[in-house]
Amino acid sequence: MNFDLPKTEEKVLKFWKEKKIFEKLRKKNQGKKRWSFLDGPITANNPMGVHHAWGRTYKDMFQRYKAMQGFDQRYQNGFDCQGLWVEVEVEKEKGFKNKKDIESYGIGKFVKDCKKRVLKYSKIQTEQSIRLGQWMDWESSYYTMSDENNYAIWNFLKKCQEKKLLYKGKDVVPWCPRCGTAISQHEILTEEYKELTHESVFVKLPVKSRKNTYFLVWTTTPWTLPANVALAVHPDLYYVEIRDKNGDIFILLKEKAKIIPGGKIIKKFSGKKLKGSKYQGMFDELSEVKKNLKEEEHKVILWKDVTKEEGTGIVHIAPGCGREDFQLSKEFNLPVVNPTDEESKYKKGFGFLEGKMVSEVRSLIFDNLKKKNILFKIENYTHRYPTCWRCKEELIFRLVDEWYISMEKLRKPLMGVAKKIKWIPSFGLDRELDWLKNMDDWLISKKRYWGLTLPVYECDKCGNFEVIGSKEELKERGVSGWEKFEGHSPHKPWVDEVKIKCSKCGNIISRIPDVGNPWLDAGIVPFSTMSYFSDKDYWKKWFPAELICESFPGQFKNWFYAIIVMSTVLENTNPIKTIFGYASVRDEKGEEMHKSKGNAIWFDDAVEKIGADSMRWMYARQNPAYNLNFGYKTAEEIKRKLLTLYNVFTFLNTYVDKKEFFRVDLPKSESILDKWIISRFNNLIEKVTKSLNKYNTSLATLAIEKFFINDLSLWYVRRSRKRFHPGHPERKKAIETLYYILLNLTKLIAPTMPFFAEERYQNLKINNMPESVHLFDWQEANKEKIDKELEKKMAEVREIVTQALARRAEAGIKVRQPLAELKIKNLWIKRSERLPEGLQLKNEKELLELIKEEVNIKKIIFSSKIKKEIELDTRITKELEKEGERREIIRNIKALRKKLNLTPKVIITNIISTASIITDEDFFQEVGAKNFKKVEKESEMEVDIKKEIELGKEKHYIGIKK
Ligand SMILES: [Zn+2]
Ligand SMILES: [Zn+2]
């Protein structure tokens, strides 16, 4: 047997598969009380990285735990299939540069390619999850691209329309020039803001009906200048007029006066005074600007959001290119110049800019301004600027028609629903509420191809729009194209064959070309995957789900948000009882893992190297509120811990060849060590159960770890070693106890390390025990066996030992060398005087024995007169020295036995040495020998193996004859 986790795991996987253990588990719990888990869909777009394994470990752990508690479960895994992330990968594969390439390739073909990619990676991810040990009903995984899921969203959107929540709005939205689509507010996470340096520009705009007087304006996005219609100033801040050395007069914020070198302030006034001032526009000669401005003049408006921090205190307003600008245009009735098309190029009517990408016109615009003699200066400016989460292109802001779900009426109910949910970690609720308080309406449309087709049919004649709520409704309302669509999934381009009649004017109308925001796809799953639309009784059984568990960064604005919105609209209730969130996986140095940075670790590599169980253990013991730094060095530490546990199992196997003393019931041992470890173990069961019931995985896992390292390995086995030797009077009880602990420990670790638990369980299994450790019921703690007083005393014993051993180390005396006495200040002995006599006294004697053995001393003396807690007599008499030598000999014989691979059961015929040794029964029992023979010279030794040893200052030889 080797401690080779990956190899063991492969064997266990085979065993589970052959014996159909998972199927047997499900059958065992079928029809019993239910525990409903809802799987958040994994994006089926790439093979899994190690970060995916974190969440999957939790999911599997909780489901396994609940299964052992006898709960019936659905075991449904989910794949997220539709959306830009898949499109971008397919585009890369095909070498497409933009949307035109997709359209000339054919939308139908492109959509099929996207589907294919999803199917390919969902299969790979399934295999990987199985390798991780995750038990799911893989055959019935849900796919968000399924007809069922898509039509469920249609149904939801129809409800939204009935509730008057759905609307088409013009708004300025973040827009990716490459992807050619709007990016919703919640898709722009903090990490999408990059520190970028751009050339900013100061422009001087002539004030009308005044000579040589200019408003000084500053912008970091010169491409928006042609869309300028107004300037904004703060009503209450002070502005100045400054004359420069050429006699030109500039108007700007008082605090910014030093922008004009050598200028002289000639006037100071509050911003209010500027209200309505007219100025000469920069690009009034462009036909599109002229057209949109009509007869309006460029003017100054008052706006309280103007700040002193940046620029000149005079803000350039372009309602076609900025969100706040657009709001202001509604408020002040400003004209809107909308310069860009879908590809982020200037539209017709923009003269020298027409057809140019907005990202390429910076110097063209500068030159134009220079020619007009209104460019004041150019300056580099570094700021945080949003980029596309998919392709990393710098976003622009564009005025577009998009579809929205209005949040004004929903905001309050959403907050109410969020509060009904238990959030782990608890800060989750605040973060969600914060988002719900501040979010805009939900932008649900995307001008793309692979996704939910929004079932909105808009009439270009009368402006009416209708929402189709199901496939059946579409068939009923369809006036043409059904036969072309039939047999296809409701995707582009097939679904668009079907036309319906406008119910207001009778015009034949088409679906809008947009697809849906992918969070609609994932948001509907508490309904679509539980047959809400087809089998309400089934749905009622499983809804709301008990638990979801996902990585929280991002999800407050995404999945958590989407399920809350959809559940509020459909049922006005919470879709889950508990949201368990966990942080992110980072690399060993705590840096974000990125494919491009080269520090990402693929799941396959990791599992092959360190095994699934050590990964699972690492994840389970982590506090989910904090990022986890994953790396092979950390994994090595985890492996060492697990090896400690493994060695305890091996210890039992080494001392017991047959399963002679293996028994299922609780051993009745009088030994203080046995009683103590049984007490500790039952305590552990209680603690683990309580923690897992509260989904506190790290508390449960660390408690188990502390138990098997600190209590079981470093104390119980260490102090009991002798008791396992053949012939020892306590041998039977010791084996029974260790067996009881290890057998039941396999059940306790089964949810976390299913492979390790299974493999070790198979090794311990006797009689009519279940076929697999995973078929056991979750054990309950035997509270009668918990002895808090004994545990407390043992803790004190161990504390004394630690101190005494530290004293030994300070004095440079090896533990093998016996010492005369240890003085202890009265500790628990004092307290125990108050306890009933009898058993207690026996316990205490045994406890003192443990100290004596572990510290290797002859006598313990209680004294209240010593200064420290303990005092160790470090003098070595001749006699003690002799005894130390005996220990040295015993140790060497043991080492020789090991070299000959002798198991503890083999009794040696003869020990032969040139040294004289005091031999007694204890001696022979400990070294496992029948006889001892002293010889004069090394040459007289007839042995199988021998070695030189040093006793005092003399050289001697010791050997073994089998
Ligand atoms: Zn993009
Ligand atoms: Zn109509």
Kindly list the protein residues that place their beta carbon closer than 5 angstroms to ligand 2, a single-atom ion: 459, 461-462, 464, 502, 504-505, 507
pTM: 0.86
Residue 738 to residue 667: CA distance in whole angstroms: 9
640 Cβ neighbours under 8 A, 6+ residues apart: none
Query: How far does residue 509's CA lie from ligand 2's centre (Å)?
Result: 8
Residue bearing tokens 């065993």: 15
Please check whether residue 857 is in contact with residue 870, taking contact to mean a CB–CB distance below 8 angstroms.
no
CA of 457 to the centre of ligand 2 (A): 10
In this predicted structure, what is the pLDDT of residue 837?
Answer: 47
Q: How far is the CA of 176 from the centre of ligand 1 (A)?
A: 5
Ligand nearest, relative to CA of residue 97:
1
Counting ligands in written order, the one closest to the CA of 394 is 1
Neighbouring residues of 821: CB distance < 8 A, sequence distance ≥ 6: 857, 858, 859, 860, 861, 873
Q: Ligand 1 center to residue 344 CA distance, Å?
A: 12
Ion ligand 1, residues whose Cβ is below 5 A away: 176, 178-179, 388, 390-391, 393
- What's the gap in Å between 521 CA and the centre of ligand 2? 29
Determine the distance separating the centroid of ligand 2 and the alpha carbon of 476, expressed in angstroms: 18
Q: What SS3 class is residue 352? A: helix
Ligand 1 center–CA 564 separation, angstroms: 27
How far, in Å, is the centroid of ligand 2 from the Cα of 515? 22
Looking at the CA of 459, name the nearest ligand: 2
Can you list the pairs that 100-106 forms with residues at least 24 positions away whose Cβ atoms lie under 8 Å?
A: 102/449
**Cα-Cα-Cα-Cα dihedral sign, residues 307, 310, 315, 321:** negative
Distance 145 CA to ligand 2 centre (A): 31
Distance 394 CA to ligand 1 centre (A): 8
Token reading at 759:
């493999």
Quick one: which ligand is closest to 391's CA? 1
CA of 50 to the centre of ligand 2 (A): 53
How many A from CA of 465 to the centre of ligand 2? 8
Ligand 1 geometric centre to CA of 89 (Å): 12
CA of 387 to the centre of ligand 1 (A): 8
The DSSP result for 161-209, as a single string, is HHTT-EEEEEEEEEEETTTTEE--GGG--GGGEEEEEEEEEEEEEEBTT
Residue 506 Cα to ligand 2 middle (Å): 6
Cα-to-centroid distance, 526 and ligand 1 (Å): 30
Q: For 396-455, what is each residue's pLDDT tens digit?
A: 999 999 999 999 999 999 999 999 999 999 999 999 999 999 998 999 999 999 999 999
Residue 405 three-state SS: strand
pLDDT at residue 838, rounded to an integer: 47
Q: Beta-strand (E) ranges in 669-808?
A: none
- Rounded Cα distance between 517 and 494, Å, is 19
Sheet holding 910-913, edge to edge: 932-934, 910-913, 954-961, 945-951
3-state secondary structure of 384: strand
Residue position matching structure tokens 């869309």: 227
Q: Give the ligand at the shortest distance from the Cα of 344.
A: 1
Three-state SS at 572: coil
Distance of alpha carbon 561 from alpha carbon 512, whole angstroms? 25
Ligand nearest to the CA of 386: 1
CA of 473 to the centre of ligand 2 (A): 18
**For residue 181, which ligand has an atom nearest its CA?**
1
Ranges under pLDDT 50 in the chain: 1, 832-833, 835, 837-839
The Å distance, Cα 554 to ligand 1 centre, comes to 18
Radius of gyration of the chain (CA): 39
Alpha carbons 542 and 678: distance in angstroms, whole number: 39
Ligand 2 centroid to residue 922 C-alpha, Å: 103
User: Do the Cβ atoms of 319 and 311 come closer than 8 Å?
Assistant: no
Distance 405 CA to ligand 2 centre (A): 22
- Ligand 1 centroid, distance to 84 Cα (angstroms): 9
* CA-wise closest residue to 72 among 132, 102, 30: 30
Determine the distance separating the centroid of ligand 2 and the alpha carbon of 462, expressed in angstroms. Answer: 4
| Paired strand residues for 202 | 218, 377
Question: Residue 508 CA: which ligand is closest?
Answer: 2
The 10s digit of each residue's pLDDT in 349-370 is 999 999 999 999 999 999 999 9
923 neighbors 893 (Cβ within 8 angstroms): no
Cα 411 to middle of ligand 1, angstroms: 30
Q: pLDDT per residue over 583-600, tens digit each?
A: 999 999 999 988 778 888
- Asked whether 259 and 216 are in contact (CB, 8 A), the reply is yes
Ligand nearest to the backbone CA of 509:
2
State both tokens at 358. Answer: 């907005």
The alpha carbon of 183 and the centre of ligand 1 are apart by a number of angstroms equal to 8
| Interior/surface letters 349-358, b for 16+ CB within 10 angstroms, e for the rest | bbeebeeeeb
How many angstroms separate the alpha carbon of residue 182 from the centre of ligand 1?
9
Q: How far is the CA of 456 from the centre of ligand 2 (A)?
A: 13
Ligand nearest to the CA of 395: 1
Q: What does the alpha-carbon distance between residue 649 and residue 643 come to, in Å, rounded to a whole number?
A: 10
C-alpha 466 – ligand 2 centre gap (Å) = 10
Residue 930 is given by DSSP the state S
Centre of ligand 2 to C-alpha 162, Å, is 18
Instruction: Name the residue type at position 668.
Output: K
Q: Which residue has the tokens 């609780």?
A: 666
The answer to whether the beta carbons of residues 613 and 5 sit under 8 Å apart is yes
Ligand nearest to the CA of 176: 1
193-227 pLDDT, tens digit per residue, is 889 999 999 999 999 989 999 999 999 999 999 99
Angstrom distances, CA of residue 431 to CA of 434, 581, 624, 839, 842: 5, 12, 16, 56, 57
**Alpha carbon of 518 to ligand 2 centroid (Å):** 29
Structure tokens at 737: 């106890």
Q: Is-contact 32 70, C-beta < 8 A?
A: yes
